[in-house]
Amino acid sequence: MTTCCMSLLVALNAAGLIPSPQAPEGMVWIAGGEFKMGGVGPETRHDELPIHRVALDGFFIKKTEVTNSQFKTFVDATGYKTVAERPVDWELIKTQVPPGTKQPPEDMLLPGSIVFCQPAEVRDTRDYSQWWVWTTGASWHHPEGPKSSIENKMDHPVVHVAWEDARAYAEWFGGELPTESQWEYAARGGISDMPFIWGNEQVDSSRANIWEGTFPTRNDKGDGFVRTAPVGSYPANGYGLYDMAGNVWEWCLDRYRADEYTRRSIGLGEDEVVKNPQGPQETDDRQNPYAPVTRIQRGGSFLCHPSYCSSYRPSARISTTPDSAMSHVGFRIVMTPEQGKAARNVQKVGD
């Protein structure tokens, strides 16, 4: 499609002249169009630049992050076991750590996950081990460890899901994880050239579920939530999507490269756009130099704070190994028009 045709489609969509497809239950139609992808403002990091124009086809995206209740339905239907519920594969871990790393004790290879534990004091905020603790028995249905439960958190986002767990759910549901281009386009909600999904104003407890107080030693709990919040507890963005900033990090489909935007922009003219980017074929991640593959997460979480993380910005990107499951990571899914039509047909049969 030429730039002229794409620009015309954007104008027709904006004028409401192109009808929107009927969305499957719990999803929103995002009309195709162009946007400026990349960081705006003083908190922008090097991997969010350069800003470049991206054109996307229309897609459906889930209004909220996938909840514990929804993930339980998937597990009950399929018998699926998440990565956190399986014994740790030391042979796989060896490929992600420096050569010569010794095998940990057997009790550290039992099923489990990484849980945030608020410390009383911190010596060095660069040392994550002061608040991230490997917890045997932690999983999506035991988010704080084996004695915890999701009984009163069925409407909270599911956590402790690795990338392959999120993809397994998406496939079962009939969709896919969003590309990071789809995710950012949807997160912006029609707002461009702004650092946050609500505009220029800094975040506060009325806008998103983030850390309030001094990270990581004091949480003032101004919004009433210490960890995750029920999905939809904060205002929706311009597209009717909830928690695109804060609550939990969300997996995207793409591999991570710090220089991906630079690579995309090589040879592009001022009026040219990148159409439906699918991400790099190979990982290049200086933060995880021994990992053969890392994947993108977006949106920030309840642990983000202006003084420490500030990754609740729509352009912020982080990388994580795809087998990582943590207590602040979840996901949402997208569908093509064809997948959405198939999902609606299934819903009609089940009515």
pLDDT tens digit string along 93-149?
A: 777 778 888 888 877 788 999 999 888 888 887 787 888 999 999 999 999 999 999
Other Cβ atoms closer than 10 A to 217? 13
H/E stretch holding 5: helix 3-14
Q: Where are the beta strands (DSSP E) in 146-196?
A: none
Model pTM score: 0.89
Check residues 7 and 161 and name the one with the higher pLDDT. Answer: 161
Q: Using one digit for the tens of pLDDT, what is the confidence trace for 91-101?
A: 877 777 788 88
Across residues 218-222, what is the average pLDDT? Answer: 80
Instruction: Give helix 163-173 / helix 68-78 axis angle, nearest 10°.
Output: 80
d(CA 87, CA 83): 8
List phi, psi (to 5°) of 251. -65, 140
- Show me where the domains of the chain are located: 65-255+280-334
**Is domain 65-255+280-334 given the CATH code 3.90.1580.10 in the classification?**
yes
DSSP, collapsed to helix, strand or coil, labels residue 102 as: coil
List, for residues 163-217, the tens digit of each pLDDT value.
999 999 999 999 999 999 999 999 999 998 999 999 998 888 889 999 988 888 8
Distance CA 322, CA 325 (A): 8
Does 347 have pLDDT greater than 70? no
